[in-house]
Amino acid sequence: MERPVTEADLTFEHVPESDQSFENALEKARAGDRLTVDDAIELLTTGTDSDGIDRRRKEQVLTAADHRRADVVGEEVTFVANVNNNVTTACNVGCLFCNFKDAAHTFEHDAEVETAGFTKTPTESRDIVADAVDRGIYEVTSVSGLHPAFALDTEHHEILAATPNPKEVNYKPPERYATDPGTYAEQMAAMSVDGVHVHSMTPEEAYHARRGTDWSYEDVYSRLQNAGLDTVPGTAAEILVEEVREVICPGKIGTDDWLEAMEAAATVGLGLTATIMYGHVENEAHRAMHLKRIRDLQDRVDGAITEFVPLSFIHQNTPLFKHDVVSGGASTDEDELMIAVSRLFLDNIDHVQSSWVKYGDEQGLKMLSCGADDFMGTILSEEITKRAGGSYGEFRSFEDYVDLVTSIGRVPVERSTDYETRRVIDPDESPIGPQLGPRADGTPLLTDTEQSDRTALADD
């Protein structure tokens, strides 16, 4: 039997070396000059002239990024009232960093093992979103596994069913499964309750929604937009360098497809976000190359990317960790430098997000002084991080947000997904709840009883 790849086997063409010096790169960053990949490598490594992180240099990079943040967006810290409604965990793509998925065959009627995952029908999605809209959310975020029965719409089902070998296009008809997820278009329409903002359909999902056809990404995204989609999360990016993707997600779309899908979404008028998932097998050269690809994309799509979200790899419970391909995730130094260099490098993206789900409250707050200015969303329900072993809970009330943000002397601001609508929150407001959603009236998202039930659960 072939021995699985381990950390010791990994060799990459791209390594963190540069012709630049740390001092020059820092000088350019402080001056606001556009940085090169070499500059970013120097800043991310705190200098390739010595091994390990130099703490004094790290502080210089963080300070430069904090100053840039203040220049670009001031003292406001934004967040959005949102719910996560992930439709299904059924997926057989097999990304090695992912523990969100459940093998798709376990969802079939005649599966020998009972699935540990879930699939929601469009009606179930609508009910979840309608409840959250009633409570006052502005946005529903929905990212799902690539369920083999998922198709864009009825026409797509017909094309896939007529394919001579449906397995080749990762298709099985909905009748095979205990729960039919409906079509992507039906899910978008179902979640689009009262004009709530629907943030969904990553480039990977868009690829799945056109598999087996000759449709372009524009065709797919414009049909989804007609069904209710508003903006596209730029997840599934991981690291946009092929030699890394081949190790961590060989079954996923490549960098070119990811970029093509994002451009297509922007072309049909959808807003975008962008991400990096770092701290696994990649090195600082890959992180720097990824930033360059995102910055180039933002130039091409004319500013359609509203925020950049660095996602620190959570290693527990993932195949990469279990099979010894990695021994852990990024260090705190690396996390801070990733946020800071994202701020300094991405001179054409205004907002950098600190994810409290990935970093926890304390470190998440610290990131707001390392270049970040957005603090994510309330997340009424969050499955992805929890299933990968994260332990930072799954809901953040407006009151929590106001307490956290004011504790570091910054200004709490409720925002829309695209940051165009903002409301500065008066910390003396009582009660403190969202006001921007279609049915929001300032009432907190959870009642006092629900909130204390959740706190008790989290403490158990």
Which residues of the shown chain bind ligand SF4 in the complex (CB under 6 A)?
Answer: 91, 93-95, 98, 100-101, 145-146, 204, 249
CA 42 from centroid of its chain's CA atoms: 26
In the complex, minimum distance from the CB of residue 387 to ligand SF4, in angstroms, rounded to a whole number: 10
Pick 170 or 225: Cβ nearer ligand SF4: 170
Q: Which residues contact 218 (CB under 8 A, 6 or more apart)?
A: 264, 267, 268
Pick 87 or 249: Cβ nearer ligand SF4: 249
The answer to whether 16 and 48 have CB atoms below 8 angstroms apart is: yes
Closest alpha carbon to 222 in 242, 201, 237, 196 = 201
DSSP lists the bridge partners of residue 200 as 142
Residues in the chain: 460
Pick 148 or 271: Cβ nearer ligand SF4: 148
Tell me the one-letter amino acid at 374. D
The answer to whether 97 and 109 have CB atoms below 8 angstroms apart is: no
Q: Which two tokens stand for residue 357?
A: 């789900």
In the complex, minimum distance from the CB of residue 318 to ligand SF4, in angstroms, rounded to a whole number: 10
Q: Give the separation between CA 106 and CA 91, rounded to whole angstroms.
A: 10
Pick 100 or 375: Cβ nearer ligand SF4: 100
Q: Which two tokens stand for residue 382?
A: 């969050």
Pick 203 or 364: Cβ nearer ligand SF4: 203
Q: Which residues contact 282 (CB under 8 A, 6 or more apart)?
A: 239, 241, 244
In the complex, minimum distance from the CB of residue 313 to ligand SF4, in angstroms, rounded to a whole number: 12
In the complex, minimum distance from the CB of residue 3 to ligand SF4, in angstroms, rounded to a whole number: 23
Task: Write phi, then psi, for 273 (nearest 5 degrees).
Answer: -120, 170
- Tokens 């095979």 -> residue: 176
Pick 100 or 395: Cβ nearer ligand SF4: 100
In the complex, minimum distance from the CB of residue 280 to ligand SF4, in angstroms, rounded to a whole number: 12
In the complex, minimum distance from the CB of residue 146 to ligand SF4, in angstroms, rounded to a whole number: 5
In the complex, minimum distance from the CB of residue 214 to ligand SF4, in angstroms, rounded to a whole number: 23
In terms of phi and psi (left: phi > 0; alpha: psi -120 to 50; beta: otherwise), the region of 4 is: beta
Q: Give the separation between CA 416 and CA 139, rounded to whole angstroms.
A: 8
Compute the chain's Rg from CA coordinates: 22
Pick 78 or 142: Cβ nearer ligand SF4: 142
Pick 47 or 145: Cβ nearer ligand SF4: 145
In the complex, minimum distance from the CB of residue 112 to ligand SF4, in angstroms, rounded to a whole number: 21
